[in-house]
Amino acid sequence: MIAERLIRRTVGRAAWFRTKEGDREMRSFWIWLLLLGLTWIFALDHFTAALTEMPLRILGTAVFFALFFLAPLFRKKQGIFLLLFIAAAVLAVVVLWPESADAEANPYSLLIYSILAGKAVYRLSARPAAGVGVLLFSGALAPGIAGYPSFSPVFVSVYAVVLGAAFAVYRSISVREEELTVRNEALLSEYRKMKRRIATDEKLAREEERAQIARDIHDSVGHKLTALLMQLEVFRMQTDKKTKERLHGLKMLAKESLEETRSAVKTLKQDDAGGLSAVISLIRKLEAESFIRIEFSVKHGAFSAPLSNEQAIAVYRAVQEALTNIMRHSDVKEAEILFEAPAGSIFYFEVSNPASGDMPFQEGFGLAAMRERMEYAGGQLDIFRRNERFVIRGKLPLLQKKRREVSNDSDSFG
Tell me: do 19 and 144 sit in the same domain.
Answer: yes
When pLDDT is averaged across residues 141-163 and rounded to a whole number, the result is: 88
Tell me: do 344 and 288 sit in the same domain.
Answer: yes
Q: How does pLDDT run across 38-50, given as a tens digit for each residue?
A: 888 888 888 877 7
Distance CA 392, CA 400 (A): 25
Residue 17 pLDDT exceeds 50: no
Tell me: do 352 and 392 sit in the same domain.
Answer: yes
Tell me: do 224 and 288 sit in the same domain.
Answer: no
Residue 409 pLDDT exceeds 60: no
With contact defined as beta carbons under 8 Å apart, do 265 and 210 qualify? no
Distance CA 385, CA 390 (A): 5
Least confident window among 31-40, 87-96, 125-134, 324-333: 324-333
Report field, pTM of the whole predicted structure over 0.75: no
What does the angle CA 76 – CA 20 – CA 287 come to, to the nearest 5 degrees? 125
Domain boundary among 269, 288, 304: 269
Least confident window among 58-62, 68-72, 124-128, 216-220: 216-220
Domain boundary among 240, 269, 298: 269
Burial (CB < 10 A; 0-12, 13-18, 19+), residue 46, is middle
Backbone torsions φ then ψ of 104, nearest 5 degrees? -85, 155
Residue 117 pLDDT exceeds 60: yes
Residue 200 pLDDT exceeds 80: no
Tell me: do 14 and 139 sit in the same domain.
Answer: yes
Higher-pLDDT residue of 196 and 93 is 93
pLDDT score at 360: 61
Residue 319 pLDDT exceeds 60: yes
Tell me: do 42 and 95 sit in the same domain.
Answer: yes
Distance CA 319, CA 394 (A): 10
Q: Is residue 194 part of a domain?
A: no
Tell me: do 238 and 282 sit in the same domain.
Answer: no
Higher-pLDDT residue of 15 and 102 is 102
When pLDDT is averaged across residues 27-43 and rounded to a whole number, the result is: 83
With contact defined as beta carbons under 8 Å apart, do 367 and 321 qualify? yes
C-alpha gyration radius of the chain? 37
* 317: nearest Cα among 361, 398, 376: 376
CA atoms within 13 A on the CB side of 367: 15
Distance CA 234, CA 23 (A): 81
As beta bridge partners, residue 353 has 390
pLDDT score at 77: 82
Tell me: do 314 and 365 sit in the same domain.
Answer: yes
Quote the domain boundaries for residue 138.
2-151
With contact defined as beta carbons under 8 Å apart, do 120 and 85 qualify? yes
With contact defined as beta carbons under 8 Å apart, do 315 and 272 qualify? no
Tell me: do 291 and 309 sit in the same domain.
Answer: yes
Q: Is residue 191 part of a domain?
A: no
Q: How does pLDDT run across 344-403, given as a tens digit for each residue?
A: 788 888 999 888 666 566 677 778 888 888 888 888 998 888 888 889 999 988 865 444
pLDDT score at 70: 82
Backbone torsions φ then ψ of 94, nearest 5 degrees? -70, -45
Tell me: do 12 and 147 sit in the same domain.
Answer: yes
Rounded to the nearest integer, the mean pLDDT of the chain is: 77
Least confident window among 167-176, 194-203, 316-325: 194-203
When pLDDT is averaged across residues 248-255 and rounded to a whole number, the result is: 77
Backbone torsions φ then ψ of 142, nearest 5 degrees? -60, -45
Share of the chain above pLDDT 70, in %: 79
Q: Is residue 176 part of a domain?
A: no
User: Domains in the chain: how many in total?
Assistant: 3
Element (H, E) at 395: strand 389-397
Distance CA 314, CA 370 (A): 8
Q: Is residue 397 part of a domain?
A: yes
- Highest mean pLDDT among 223-232, 267-276, 321-330 belongs to 321-330
Domain boundary among 269, 289, 304: 269
Higher-pLDDT residue of 191 and 16 is 191
Tell me: do 67 and 98 sit in the same domain.
Answer: yes
With contact defined as beta carbons under 8 Å apart, do 305 and 347 qualify? yes
When pLDDT is averaged across residues 126-133 and rounded to a whole number, the result is: 87
* 8-state DSSP, 105: P
3-state secondary structure of 380: strand
Q: Is residue 182 part of a domain?
A: no
Q: Is residue 159 part of a domain?
A: no
Distance CA 290, CA 343 (A): 35
Residue 4 pLDDT exceeds 70: no
Residue 219 pLDDT exceeds 70: no
pLDDT score at 406: 39
pLDDT score at 161: 92
The 10 Å Cβ neighbour count of residue 207 is 13
Distance CA 318, CA 316 (A): 5
Tell me: do 380 and 324 sit in the same domain.
Answer: yes
Higher-pLDDT residue of 305 and 165 is 165
Helices (H) and strands (E) counted in the chain, each on its own, are: 12, 5
**CATH number of residue 394's parent domain:** 3.30.565.10
